[in-house]
């Protein structure tokens, strides 16, 4: 149920009637006809562009056509007024009842209100976080984690079957480095004196625990052996240990995944060579030499023939190497195999949430997906930009522990997971974001999470107080849904209802553009309308939610408040936050 569509359909059906009656030419395409909200209330609630977009094909001026359509719409009971304005807008003001009858629907649907069938049950794979298993997560990872998680929630609200996935990059040389770093800490744990972590190894203290766990499991078994002997086992042990760290971090943030796919498993199964053979058979692979990039000095550049994928055939700027000089597959080759693997598991539609530093990688990956799925699969990449961690407007001090950065865990412990989640969604994902550790704890409207939660808490407070003032009234959702809502006619009330009415549209738009931050913006707006109306009750008692001498009005206002609460809850659910009943 999306009222934009309802009204748009009313307009279209009247136009179709006019066509049938021969008053308009028959070959009009109504696809562009729609309605939108108006900025200025004097223009009514909604405005349709019908007269403007159809003027040319109808061979009439927008004004002429508009008058014909307006004439028809005036006969309908849904509108309080219909008028032609400006360059040809058809302004529509709905009768209050059109809005108020929405409330029972919200109350009955509960948190499901706003769900839509945009996805029509189609499956979509959302891959996010995929942080290298070489250490705990930091605040930058958290942004991708939250965006991916919220996007998953959003798409499933919009009717998609969502699978959430984490790709474990456990095959590259960085894992060897990790294993060596663990071995060093391991020897240290067994009493060897280590003065300084050599360059090129991970210095993080978190590896001490991993080493301790290894000692506990295996004693000094790996201590004196050659690297060739211990490397494979320590790799596995280290990956396991790091992934358990990361899983703990994700849990602390409330981020979930359905599937964890390991790169090394794919490599081990030969998926990489398979996929390259596949590309060869499609004649998309050749041995060639790339030109050195211009405008960038590469000291160690040498001309070298390489195994290249013809990504330029699919819109990339240059062809891309699949194999390294030492014969290993490039990360790109693995990634092609991985995306084919996703496709073969039934995901035609794939979304990856990546850090903005992977921007240069997007074209080649899209090209590869196009090639390997023979254009049946689509890849969509959501890039997320940097997070600047601040403290009172200044860059936050880095953790004192050597070789460490501010970990996600430290931030979550400091401000809570809900604050992290909400703030991560207060900016478009590809814009850099300031995250101020002080501000997110402030109990003021500077802090959007607080502002939204406060509105929800006030809703709960209204209901609690109404039960005390009117012990005999039934104020559960289904009873409220039966109330006659005709008393709701104040502009502030109707504004809130219109906003509630637009929630399904907001969900649909956010899902279409894959921008979960739009949900956060919407919630702030809705909260503002609620706070505004609330405050008018301070100076004008008749505008309070609870009107002591008027139980009927109280019921209707409580129903409205409750509906606001439901929609806030529904939006917070997308973001992954539990609404609060009180804030004391």
| Binding residues among 443-462 for RNA as defined by CB under 7 A | 443-446, 450-451, 454, 457-458, 461-462
CA nearest to 248, candidates 405, 240, 574: 240
DSSP 41: G
Own/partner pairs, 409-412, CB within 8 angstroms, 24+ separation: 409/136, 409/137, 409/248, 409/249, 409/252, 411/139, 411/142, 411/435, 411/437, 412/252, 412/253
Cα 543 to Cα 306: distance, rounded to the nearest angstrom: 75
Among 81, 314, 470, 521, binds RNA (CB under 7 A): 521
Among 3, 18, 49, 389, binds RNA (CB under 7 A): 49
CB of 2 to RNA, least distance (A): 12
CB of 87 to RNA, least distance (A): 4
Among 28, 52, 142, 242, binds RNA (CB under 7 A): 52
Could you tell me whether strands 285-289 and 305-309 are parallel, antiparallel, or unpaired per DSSP bridges?
antiparallel
Determine if 416 is a binding residue for RNA (CB under 7 A): no
Determine if 544 is a binding residue for RNA (CB under 7 A): yes
Calculate Rg over the CA atoms of the chain.
Answer: 30
Here's the x/- map for RNA, 124-143, by CB under 7 A: it reads as --------x-----------
Determine if 219 is a binding residue for RNA (CB under 7 A): no
Question: Cβ(86)–Cβ(77) under 8 Å?
Answer: no
Question: Cβ(140)–Cβ(385) under 8 Å?
Answer: no
CB of 40 to RNA, least distance (A): 6
Determine if 300 is a binding residue for RNA (CB under 7 A): yes
3-state secondary structure of 172: coil
3-state secondary structure of 579: coil
Determine if 29 is a binding residue for RNA (CB under 7 A): no
Instruction: Tell which positions 319-378 bind RNA, by CB under 7 A.
Output: 320-321, 324-326, 328, 330-332, 356-361, 363
Instruction: Tell which positions 159-178 bind RNA, by CB under 7 A.
Output: 169, 171-174
Cα 155 to Cα 161: distance, rounded to the nearest angstrom: 8
Instruction: Tell which positions 68-87 bind RNA, by CB under 7 A.
Output: 85-87
CA nearest to 428, candidates 388, 385, 393: 385
Determine if 491 is a binding residue for RNA (CB under 7 A): no
Determine if 315 is a binding residue for RNA (CB under 7 A): no
- Give Cβ neighbours of residue 144 (< 8 Å, ≥ 6 apart): 128, 129, 353, 354, 355, 384
Number of residues that bind RNA (CB under 7 A): 100
Among 7, 47, 238, 437, binds RNA (CB under 7 A): 47
Closest to RNA by CB, 206 vs 521, is 521
Among 149, 165, 249, 263, binds RNA (CB under 7 A): 263
CB of 421 to RNA, least distance (A): 17
Instruction: Tell which positions 545-574 bind RNA, by CB under 7 A.
Output: 545-546
Closest to RNA by CB, 390 vs 573, is 390
Instruction: Tell which positions 224-243 bind RNA, by CB under 7 A.
Output: none
Closest to RNA by CB, 20 vs 36, is 36
Residue 374 CB burial class (10 angstroms; 0-12, 13-18, ≥19): exposed
């Amino acid at each position: 149920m999306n009222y934009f569509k309802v009204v748009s359909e009313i307009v279209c059906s009247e136009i179709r009637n006019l066509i049938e009656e021969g008053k308009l030419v028959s070959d009009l395409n109504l696809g562009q006809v729609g309605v939108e909200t108006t900025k200025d209330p004097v223009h009514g609630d909604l405005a349709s562009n019908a007269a403007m977009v159809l003027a040319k094909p109808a061979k009439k001026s927008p004004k002429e056509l508009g008058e014909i359509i307006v004439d028809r719409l005036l006969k309908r009971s849904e509108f309080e007024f219909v008028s032609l304005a400006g360059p040809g807008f058809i302004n529509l003001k709905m009768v209050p009842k059109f809005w108020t009858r929405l409330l029972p629907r919200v109350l009955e649907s509960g948190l499901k209100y706003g769900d839509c069938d945009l996805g029509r049950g189609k499956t979509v794979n959302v891959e996010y976080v995929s942080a290298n298993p070489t250490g705990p997560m930091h605040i930058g990872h958290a942004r991708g984690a939250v965006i991916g998680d919220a996007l998953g929630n959003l798409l499933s609200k919009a009717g998609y079957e969502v699978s959430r996935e984490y790709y474990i990059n456990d095959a590259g040389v960085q894992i060897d480095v990790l294993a060596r770093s663990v071995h060093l800490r391991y020897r240290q744990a067994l009493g060897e004196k280590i003065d300084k972590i050599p360059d090129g190894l991970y210095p993080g203290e978190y590896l001490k625990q991993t080493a301790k766990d290894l000692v506990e499991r295996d004693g000094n078994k790996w201590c004196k052996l050659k690297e060739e002997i211990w490397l494979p086992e320590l790799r596995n042990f280290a990956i396991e240990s790091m992934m358990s760290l990361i899983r703990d971090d994700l849990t602390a943030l409330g981020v979930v995944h359905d599937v964890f796919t390991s790169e090394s498993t794919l490599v081990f199964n030969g998926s990489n060579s398979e996929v390259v053979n596949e590309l060869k058979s499609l004649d998309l692979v050749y041995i060639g030499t790339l030109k050195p990039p211009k405008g960038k000095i590469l000291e160690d550049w040498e001309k070298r023939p390489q195994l290249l994928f013809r990504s330029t055939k699919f819109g990339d700027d240059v062809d891309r190497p699949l194999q390294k000089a030492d014969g290993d597959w490039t990360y790109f080759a693995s990634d092609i195999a991985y995306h084919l693997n996703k496709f073969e598991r039934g995901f035609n539609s794939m979304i990856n949430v990546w850090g903005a530093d992977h921007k240069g990688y997007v074209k080649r990956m899209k090209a590869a997906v196009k090639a390997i799925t023979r254009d049946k699969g689509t890849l969509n990449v959501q890039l997320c930009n940097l997070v600047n961690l601040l403290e009172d407007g200044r860059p936050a001090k880095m953790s004192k522990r050597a070789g460490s950065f501010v970990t996600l865990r430290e931030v979550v412990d400091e401000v809570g997971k809900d604050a992290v989640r909400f703030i991560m969604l207060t900016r478009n994902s590809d814009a850099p974001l300031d995250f101020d550790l002080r501000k997110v704890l402030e109990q003021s409207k500077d802090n959007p999470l607080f502002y939204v939660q406060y509105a929800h808490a006030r809703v709960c407070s209204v209901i609690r107080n109404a039960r005390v003032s009117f012990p005999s009234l039934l104020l559960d959702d289904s009873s409220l849904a039966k109330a006659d809502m005709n008393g709701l006619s104040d502009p502030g009330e109707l504004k809130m209802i219109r906003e509630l009415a637009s929630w399904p549209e907001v969900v649909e738009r956010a899902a279409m553009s894959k921008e979960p931050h739009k949900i956060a913006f919407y919630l702030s707006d809705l909260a503002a309308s609620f706070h505004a109306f609330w405050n008018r009750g301070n100076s004008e008692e008749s505008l309070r939610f609870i009107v002591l001498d008027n139980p009927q009005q109280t019921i209707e206002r409580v129903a409205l408040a409750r509906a606001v609460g439901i929609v806030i809850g529904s939006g917070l659910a997308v973001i992954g936050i539990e609404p609060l009943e009180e804030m004391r």
